[in-house]
Structure formats: C-alpha cells, structure tokens
Chain A
C-alpha cells in the first residue's frame, strides 16, 4: 500500500511543479498579483509531496519491503540499518529521487529566504525552478519509477547493496554532491529570471551570489568526500583518476568557481553582466551534463549505473532543451554591452577577468578530454580513451597560472592599480614563497621542477593572502580591532584561498613524493617503503556481520621504532559472493601509511600494496577550508540588508565597494 502512496505523491508533486512553472510566471508577465501569490504555496506543496515520496521509499528500505523492485535490488535484510537508509540512494532510481528532493528543497529555501525580493523576481525564479523540477519529475515517473513492484513473486530477500557502497562514504558523498549540483539550479533560475524581466543589475548579482556560493561550497565538500572515499575504499590509494564521472563533477565546480568570481565583479562594479549570466547558464548545464553522463550508460566508469538507453535519451533531450532555450533567451535578452570604460588595464576587474579566462579554459579542457571519446564513439570513428597524462599535462599549468594570478590579484584595487606599486608589493611575498618552497624541497629530499612550481604556487597564495590580511587589519586602535573590522565575506575569501593553497600543496607533494610499492610477501617478511619498514606479521580469518574476511596484521616501524599496527582485510560478502579489499591506513596530518592486501599468490604468499602518502590529508582539508569560506561569506551582513542596490553597497563594510559608481547600477541593460 505505502509504495503506491509514494508514487501517487510523486505524480501530485509533478502536477504541482507544472502549475508552479506556469502560473506565477504568467502572473509576473501580466502583472496579476493573485497569480504570483501562488508561487510560495505551490513550492511548499511540491516540496512536501516529494518529501513524502522519499519518506515512503526510506520506509520500504528500513522495513525490508522486497516487493518493491528497487529495494529488492539494492538492499538485504542482513544490512545494518544505516546502510539500509543510505541504500535509498545506492542505485539509479533512488538517487534520482534524492536529487529531486534536493531540487525541491532548494526551491523551498528560495521561497523562504527571499521574502525581501520583488514579487516579480521571486515568481519568475520559482517558476524556472518549477520547470527544472518538471523535467526531472517527468524523468523519474516515466523511466525510473523507484516504487515498481515485484508482484506476485516477492523475493524472500534482497540482492544486497553493492559491497563497495556499504560504507560511510555512501551516507555522505552523494547528498553533499547533489546539494552542489542541484544548487546551481538556483543561480540558473536567477539568471533566467533576470533575462526575462531585463533586470540585470548589481542587485540581481547580490541576490544570486549567496546561493551560488552555498551550492559551490556543497559541491566542493561533495567532490572531496568522493576523492577521500575512493582513496580508502576502491582506489588502492589513488585520490583522483580523471574518471569521466569525476570530471563531470569537476566541470560545474570549475565553471561555478568562475561564476562566483564574476558575480563578485558584477555586484561590486556592475560590469561583466552578460558574461556572468552566461556563466550561470553554463554552470547549471554542466550539472545536467554530469547527470546525463552518469545515468545514460555511455561511460565506462565505477560510477556508471547499469541503465537503459531510454534514460540517456531523455536526459540528453532535457539537457538540449535547457541549453537551447536558455541560450535563445540569452541571445534575445542579454544586455547589449555599451559599458563606458570604468576600469584600467591593470585593475582588480582585469585580474578577475583573467581568473575567469583560466577557469573557463580549464573547464573546456576537461570537457574536451571527457567528451571527445564519447563523441568519436557515437559517430563510430573508433573507441579511444584519453588517459590521465593528458589531464595532468594540461590541467596543472592552468592551475598554477590561476594560483600565481590569485596572489598578485589579492593586492589589486578596483578600477585602477599602479603597476610599479603592485610589483614592489609582490617582491617580499615572492622572496618568502621561494624560501618556503625551497625548504619543502629540502625536507622531501629532491628538487623536481613540477613539484617546485606547485609548492611555490601554494606558498605564494598563502603568503599573499596573509600579507593582505596584515595590511588590511592595521589600525590605529590596534591589530585586534583591525582584524575585527574586516567583513565576514573578506574572511570567507581568505579561507577559500587558503583552502586552494592547501589542496595544491597536498596534491603536489603526494603526487611527487608519495611512494607506492606492490610486493609479494609471506608472513614474517619485511619490506621497506621510504623510511618505513613494514613487517607482515600474519593473516587469519575474521567474521563480520555479513561477510568473512582474511584479516592481515602488519607492523610499521621507522628506524626500528614502532609506528603503527595495521589490519588490512580481504572481505568476501555472503550475498552475491563479491570480494572487497579493505585497506588499512595510519592517517596523519603530514603523512598516511597505507596497506592493502591483493590476491593470494600461493598457499601463504600474498600480493601486498604498501604506500607512503605525504600531505594527502591536505587535499581534503583544503576543500573543507574552501567550503567553510563559502559559508562564512554568505553570513556577511551585506546579504541581510534591504535589497536596494545602491543603498546596499554604500552601507557595505568593505571600503572597496563604497567606490561603486552609481552609473554602474543604472545603465547597461538594453
């Protein structure tokens, strides 16, 4: 009975979404307030019914209702409750439902937190979000119903959740990632609404900025969690594989990063408007592209869902419709740029423009590497793959250039920056960064050009960021007063940039100075990895809740001193007879020690992977810093102030924004 209720609520939610995408929009275009007034109730109804459907599916999982096909395929009565819960999004149908739940959740949040926005704007934003919801709800109702029944032959037990997914990672990674993906729909909706009513100004930028930042912060955490999960669970110690699906999440992240920065310029200086709108459209389209790549079965990937081609066609159509419709709208409505020159050729605007050029180049690059094989295959021009070296070779220079630019741009001023002054300003940070990165080279024993560049860039970003903080916080009333005076959005930026530096440092050091050895070992053997000795003590059996495991014991020593005892496992799951490798890791802020058991070679000999991973934690720590920066920035009081553009930026605490030219908010919209 319940599952049918779930399906019914989904269909009701779909109908409400259809109404939401039409009624308030029509109301806003014809100026009828009574129609616009439907926007919030319809949003609430849509959210509630999707929530109900999600609750029903969760209930089916927790009560082992194997008459529901999706539950029977993705769960088992032996699973602990928390994996039954996360198994809700362990397959295609349920994860799509989670996606929709989040989409309607974001829509709900917009309805709640945008009470100060003009009614026309909010009606149109909610309508556009309604349209996006219609697309995904049609998709789930038509092709991927999670409530399909297996009647009358109800299986006695479920086929089990894939052992790879029986992990903490599944509980946190997809929800975070989807929050990010779907969150860009809000930025998209704001952009489309602004195009529809021609109100493309600094106020619009300020409204959509916090939403973009939050979505981006979630996506950063989601990607980092995925990388961390892959590292300990399936990657044999790798943390990024340039796998097409990883790239699919990196694409909106890169575009979203560019969008955040160009929104900053549009808000503060009223320029780059058309570009910002275009970026908002592109970012969300890339989120849709990601959904298509993962769910259409076109990819060879650990993420690929076993799915049918109908789904791919539907998503491709949805993607094409979104892109075409928004670009058409953009072509007709985007402001004709006749902005008077208000910034010099060396100014913060130019630095941020270059930031966008680099980030968009990186996006294009990753897109080419990811899509090129698919396109060739589609036209039957051969099956190729593009390997990691391509991405490493092309992405790294762009990342380094972005970091170098960031450091210099930190000191730049809006409108005009004196070149000589900037050069002198950068001299000391340059010296300190060179010193720091040389020290790192010495510590890790050995100069490598790429490693030096990467570490130097990370140091450069860190030093300039702190230097700028020091400059800005100088005050006659003392340092503490000066530090307190800085706005939260400024501290958000500081955290975000430090996060980038941490990630860069981690990625560079672990890629260049990490050690990986595959060895054949019998109990009693000792193998050396860098300064560490690994002693294979023994290997025995252990029974888990729904698996039996070969349970190894390793002692890790350094200079004869005990460092850690590690217990990697090889698990055999009872249902489906699948085998899983569980690595064991001694984690630390400065290095990880990693042991994984491969296959049995002979009676007592095993293939063993031993690794030393310096600074790997910094990678994910950096992403957490970035996300924390994002959340800090949106708590800035600027976003809580009433929404009239000029007033808002005048009362803004940042000195730079008081320079906002009143003309910048007035004109430039055709």
Chain B
C-alpha cells in the first residue's frame, strides 16, 4: 500500500479504536449506573422496582424522624402530601436535613416497602429545592386538585 494511505489508515484506525473503546465503556457503564427517580406516590403504588438502586425524594414529614439512641440508624417518612414512604438510613445526615425539608435519597426498596438509603442529599440553600422534589409535589397536588402547601411551591428556582 502507498505509505501515505497506509499512514492515513493507521490514523483512522487509531481514531476508530479510541472511539469504539470509549463508546463501549460508556454504554456498559451507563447500563449499570442509571438511577431512576421515583416519588412517594409511585413507590406506594408499587411502581418502583424492588432491590434495584433507585432514587426517592420528597419532603421529610413533620414529626416522623426516629433516631436509634445507640447506633447511627435513623428512620423517617418522606412525603409528597398524597403518599409517604418510610426510609431507613445508617450514617450521618447532611446539615440541612430537617423535618419539612426537601431531600433526595439513594438506595434500594426492600420487599417490605421500606426504602433503605445509602445516601441522603439535602441542598445547601434553604430556598433551593431539588427539581425532582418540586416536580413530585406539583404532580401530587395537581392530581388531587388541592392547593399546594405554601412552603412547597416549586417556583423556588
């Protein structure tokens, strides 16, 4: 083969190899690491898969936080004001975690319908609400045709 063509071919092959490795890795890793978001209504309606890593979010229900005095275990309810889901977590909660705050938790739903979280996220700005939570609240309130709770309006961003 002509040396110039040969060199071009090498370049193209290198590029293709690099690209296909990247694409291969990406799709492989994507398939394993996509976490779907479910709101409390969907979870209590049984729409969320059991024992798959998912995200759940909503407002921490007032008066629902129960703390084990001897370990780092915490239990609380997360609600979108039409349904609520019990969440279990062992570890340190973020500073802005509080009753009445919007949170997002990562973890798995067990067969008893309890959500076992390995990560709980609350955002740093008290006016900022995770878009997922805002969306879930909006959906729940419009589904039932009742006005939204004042402190849960999604127009905070």
Give the Cβ gap from A55 to chain B, nearest Cβ, in Å: 28
Give the Cβ gap from B105 to chain A, nearest Cβ, in Å: 12
| B151 in the interface (beta carbon within 8 A) | no
Whether A357 touches B18, Cβ cut-off 8 Å, given contacts A345-B7, A520-B70, is yes
- Whether A365 and B25, one on each chain, are in contact in the complex, defined by CB atoms closer than 8 angstroms, is yes
| A607 in the interface (beta carbon within 8 A) | yes
Chain A 368-399 interface 0/1 with B at a Cβ cutoff of 8 Å (1 = within): 11001000000000111111011001100110
- Whether B95 and A581, one on each chain, are in contact in the complex, defined by CB atoms closer than 8 angstroms, is yes
- Whether A300 and B130, one on each chain, are in contact in the complex, defined by CB atoms closer than 8 angstroms, is yes
List 9 tightest A-B contacts by C-beta distance, closest first.
A598-B92, A383-B37, A390-B33, A361-B22, A357-B18, A297-B157, A341-B4, A393-B29, A602-B69
- Whether B132 and A300, one on each chain, are in contact in the complex, defined by CB atoms closer than 8 angstroms, is yes
- Whether A306 and B125, one on each chain, are in contact in the complex, defined by CB atoms closer than 8 angstroms, is yes
Give the Cβ gap from A580 to chain B, nearest Cβ, in Å: 6
Residue of B at shortest CB range from A373? Answer: B34
CA distance A649 to B92 in the complex (A): 59
The stretch from B9-17, B76-84, B108-116, B141-149 touching chain A is B9-17
Give the Cβ gap from A63 to chain B, nearest Cβ, in Å: 26
- Whether A578 and B96, one on each chain, are in contact in the complex, defined by CB atoms closer than 8 angstroms, is yes
CA distance A579 to B124 in the complex (A): 10
- Whether B72 and A344, one on each chain, are in contact in the complex, defined by CB atoms closer than 8 angstroms, is no
Q: Which residues of B contact A579 (CB under 8 A)?
A: 95-96
Q: Which residues of B contact A345 (CB under 8 A)?
A: 6-7, 10
Residue of B at shortest CB range from A376? Answer: B34
* Residues of B in contact, count (CB < 8 Å): 52
Which of A354, A389, A601 sits near B72, CB closer than 8 Å?
Answer: A601
13 example contacts (A-B, Cβ-Cβ < 8 A) are as follows: A234-B124, A307-B157, A308-B157, A341-B4, A353-B11, A357-B19, A361-B21, A364-B26, A384-B37, A520-B70, A578-B96, A599-B93, A607-B72
| B49 in the interface (beta carbon within 8 A) | no
Which of B28, B55, B124, B125 sits near A385, CB closer than 8 Å?
Answer: B55
- Whether A518 and B22, one on each chain, are in contact in the complex, defined by CB atoms closer than 8 angstroms, is no
Q: Which residues of A contact B10 (CB under 8 A)?
A: 345, 350
| B64 in the interface (beta carbon within 8 A) | no
The interface centre, meaning the residue of B29, B37, B93, B131 with most chain A CB atoms within 10 A of its CB, is B29
CA distance A385 to B26 in the complex (A): 15
Give the Cβ gap from B53 to chain A, nearest Cβ, in Å: 8
Residue of B at shortest CB range from A357? Answer: B18
- Whether B32 and A390, one on each chain, are in contact in the complex, defined by CB atoms closer than 8 angstroms, is yes
Q: Which residues of B contact A368 (CB under 8 A)?
A: 26, 30
Whether A164 touches B124, Cβ cut-off 8 Å, given contacts A383-B132, A520-B70, is yes
The interface centre, meaning the residue of A162, A580, A601 with most chain B CB atoms within 10 A of its CB, is A601
Q: Given contacts A340-B4, A578-B96, A599-B92, could you give 4 more A-B pairs where the C-beta distance is less than 8 Å? A: A382-B36, A383-B37, A393-B25, A607-B91
Q: Which residues of A contact B30 (CB under 8 A)?
A: 368-369, 372, 386, 390
Give the Cβ gap from A262 to chain B, nearest Cβ, in Å: 14
- Whether A364 and B22, one on each chain, are in contact in the complex, defined by CB atoms closer than 8 angstroms, is yes
CA distance A579 to B101 in the complex (A): 14
| A605 in the interface (beta carbon within 8 A) | yes
Interface residues of A in 10-28 (CB under 8 A from B): none
- Whether A386 and B34, one on each chain, are in contact in the complex, defined by CB atoms closer than 8 angstroms, is yes
CA distance A344 to B132 in the complex (A): 54
| A298 in the interface (beta carbon within 8 A) | yes
Residue of A at shortest CB range from B34? Answer: A384
- Whether A361 and B18, one on each chain, are in contact in the complex, defined by CB atoms closer than 8 angstroms, is yes
- Whether B69 and A605, one on each chain, are in contact in the complex, defined by CB atoms closer than 8 angstroms, is yes
Which of B36, B121, B127, B156 sits near A384, CB closer than 8 Å?
Answer: B36
| A304 in the interface (beta carbon within 8 A) | yes
Chain A residues close to B by CB (< 8 Å)? 162, 164, 234, 236, 297-300, 302, 304, 306-308, 340-341, 343-345, 350, 353-354, 357-358, 361, 364-365, 368-369, 372, 382-387, 389-390, 393-394, 397-398, 518-520, 576, 578-581, 596, 598-599, 601-602, 605, 607, 609
Give the Cβ gap from B29 to chain A, nearest Cβ, in Å: 4
- Whether B37 and A385, one on each chain, are in contact in the complex, defined by CB atoms closer than 8 angstroms, is yes
Q: Which residues of A contact B130 (CB under 8 A)?
A: 300
Give the Cβ gap from B115 to chain A, nearest Cβ, in Å: 16
- Whether A387 and B72, one on each chain, are in contact in the complex, defined by CB atoms closer than 8 angstroms, is no
Give the Cβ gap from A308 to chain B, nearest Cβ, in Å: 8
Which of B69, B92, B132 sits near A518, CB closer than 8 Å?
Answer: B92
The interface centre, meaning the residue of A236, A299, A387 with most chain B CB atoms within 10 A of its CB, is A387
Give the Cβ gap from A198 to chain B, nearest Cβ, in Å: 25
Q: Which residues of B contact A387 (CB under 8 A)?
A: 33, 35, 53, 106
Interface residues of B in 53-79 (CB under 8 A from A): 53, 55, 67-72
CA distance A602 to B10 in the complex (A): 67
Q: Which residues of A contact B34 (CB under 8 A)?
A: 384-386
Which of B11, B29, B91, B92 sits near A390, CB closer than 8 Å?
Answer: B29
Q: Which residues of B contact A596 (CB under 8 A)?
A: 92
Residue of B at shortest CB range from A602? Answer: B69
- Whether B104 and A300, one on each chain, are in contact in the complex, defined by CB atoms closer than 8 angstroms, is yes
Give the Cβ gap from A175 to chain B, nearest Cβ, in Å: 20
- Whether A353 and B14, one on each chain, are in contact in the complex, defined by CB atoms closer than 8 angstroms, is yes
| B46 in the interface (beta carbon within 8 A) | no
Q: Which residues of B contact A384 (CB under 8 A)?
A: 34-37
- Whether B92 and A304, one on each chain, are in contact in the complex, defined by CB atoms closer than 8 angstroms, is no
CA distance A601 to B65 in the complex (A): 12
Whether A385 touches B157, Cβ cut-off 8 Å, given contacts A162-B124, A357-B15, A520-B72, is no
| B100 in the interface (beta carbon within 8 A) | no
